[in-house]
Amino acid sequence: MLRYFTKMAENAAKRLKTEGSSTGVKIGTHNGHFHADEALAVYMLRLLPTYAGSSLIRTRDPAQLETCHTVVDVGGEYDASRNRYDHHQRTFDTTFPGRPTKLSSAGLVFLHFGKPIIAQKIQKPEDSDEVGVLWNKLYESFVEALDAHDNGISAYDPAALEAAGIEKRFSTGAFGLGAVVGRLNPNWNDPIPSDPVEAQAEEDKKFLKASARIGEEFSHDLDYYATAWLPARSIVHEAYSKRFQYDPEGRIMVFDGQAVPWKDHLYTLEEQEGETDKKVLYVLYPEKPVPDAKWRIQAVPVTKDSFQSRKALPEPWRGARDAQLDEVSGVPGGVFIHASGFIGGNKTFDGAKALAEKACAF
């Protein structure tokens, strides 16, 4: 199945490369209330040379859509060979390789054109390992949320939450990637021009603003994962391979030069190696990439975004600073331990390592 989708994406990319200039290329999507998926789909397409100077038609008129080079989120058809990317058909059940969420128009465009977009960004071949890693990461970290939002899929099973008696403790402001676009739609009581052409033009302006807004977030993620997260992968791999130098059970991982984004890469490495009992508990790194920098000790969270640590720093140390921390921990050079025990600091690497060793044995 993965090979099938990869081949489809390759064919789409080849088709774009042979279709020449973007002059006269039209993208079609529906008019009326707009959503995050088609707003992002249009933005992503316009990152590619073929669509860079494209015009946009927002309509549900089949005759007008037929004049478009590419149509997203409308038309009742998913046919990559004709650049038709709608997902509203009753029979539609396409998902991204290895993921369970049914695609929206954003997911469909990313499925077929995500690799060319990424390859263009990092100047690597579309079939390179780096492009493949980023393609999967960007889908899971960004695009999938829009697919789920548009298809009415909750992040958690509502029935399971109700059965467990779990309720939200506070409002999150109803703000997420979907709201980035949704809140830019006209209000119900905004004045509407009496001229239909003028009214459509006003609506289209709002859509383009929304497309640029969600696109800005996508491009920010693409830039981060391409220029910061991906280069950190090899550094984390090296630190992970050396973990037994610092602890016989591999529970302490050290970054010698400076800290890098490590959580995703660590979890992936552990999953690949099937580690269940000997997981990394603490990560050590200098606060700054200078010789006399203070050192941090951070407890590995249960999941990337969790506030719960695999093993928080010992309770008697929490909230202590300086001399008081030296006294309760028995390790000189203490700086602080956070009140929740997820992070702390020492003036030297040896001090941070001693804290980690004591915490492992606590």
pLDDT tens for each residue of 270-292: 988 886 678 999 999 999 999 89
* pLDDT > 80? residue 5: no
Q: Pairing relation of β-strands 78-79 and 84-85?
A: antiparallel
Average pLDDT, the chain: 91
Instruction: Answer yes or no: do 281 and 207 share one domain.
Output: no
Q: Whole-angstrom Cα distance, residue 42 to residue 96? A: 19
Examine residue 312 and state whether it is found in any structural domain, yes or no.
yes
Task: Report if residue 113 sits inside a domain.
Answer: yes
Of 230, 260, 276, the residue at which a domain comes to its end is 230
Q: Is residue 235 part of a domain?
A: no
Per-residue pLDDT of 153-197, as tens digits, reads: 888 888 898 889 988 888 777 678 888 899 999 999 999 999 999
Is 332 in the same domain as 300? yes
Encode pLDDT of 292-309 as tens digits.
999 999 999 998 888 899
pLDDT band for 3, please (50, 70, 90 cuts).
very low
Q: How many domains does the chain have?
A: 2
131 and 32 in one domain?
Answer: yes
Strands of 252-254's sheet in order across: 252-254, 282-286, 295-299, 343-346, 334-337
Mark whether 272 and 154 lie in a shared domain. no
Residues 48 and 149 occupy one common structural domain = yes
Residue 154: predicted pLDDT = 85
38 class by beta-carbon count within 10 Å (0-12 exposed, 13-18 middle, 19+ buried): buried
The answer on 247 and 191 residing in a single domain is no
Confidence at residue 174, expressed as pLDDT on a 0 to 100 scale: 66
| CATH number where 23 lies | 3.90.1640
Is 198 found in the same domain as 143? yes
pLDDT > 50? residue 107: yes
- pLDDT tens string 339-362: 999 999 999 999 999 999 999 999
In a domain, residue 237? The reply is no
CA–CA dist 347, 163 (Å, integer): 49
Q: Which band of pLDDT confidence, cut at 50, 70 and 90, is reported for residue 11?
A: very low
Does residue 65 sit within a domain? Answer: yes
pLDDT at site 23:
57
Closest C-alpha to 321, from 333, 313, 311, 312: 333
Q: Which of 10-14, 57-61, 90-94, 306-310 has the lowest mean pLDDT?
A: 10-14
pLDDT in tens, 199-252: 999 999 999 999 999 999 999 999 999 999 999 999 999 999 999 999 999 999
User: What's the domain range around 167?
Assistant: 2-230
pLDDT digits 0-9 by tens, 23-49: 579 999 999 999 999 999 999 999 999
pTM value?
Answer: 0.83
The predicted structure's pLDDT at residue 134:
97
Question: What average pLDDT does the segment 117-130 reach?
Answer: 96
Angle at which helix 2-17 crosses helix 105-122, to 10 degrees, equals 70
Residues 289 and 214 in one domain: no
> Which pLDDT belongs to residue 128?
96
In this structure, the answer to whether residues 249 and 172 fall within a common structural domain is no
DSSP element (H, E) containing 299: strand 295-299
Domain end marker among 172, 200, 230: 230
pLDDT at 307 (0 to 100): 86
Picking from 205, 230, 255, the residue at the C-terminal end of a domain is 230
Predicted pLDDT at 131: 97
Residues 208 and 272 in one domain: no
Does the structure show a pLDDT above 60 at 18?
Answer: no
Considering the domain boundaries, does residue 67 fall inside one?
A: yes
Same domain flag for 221 and 296? no
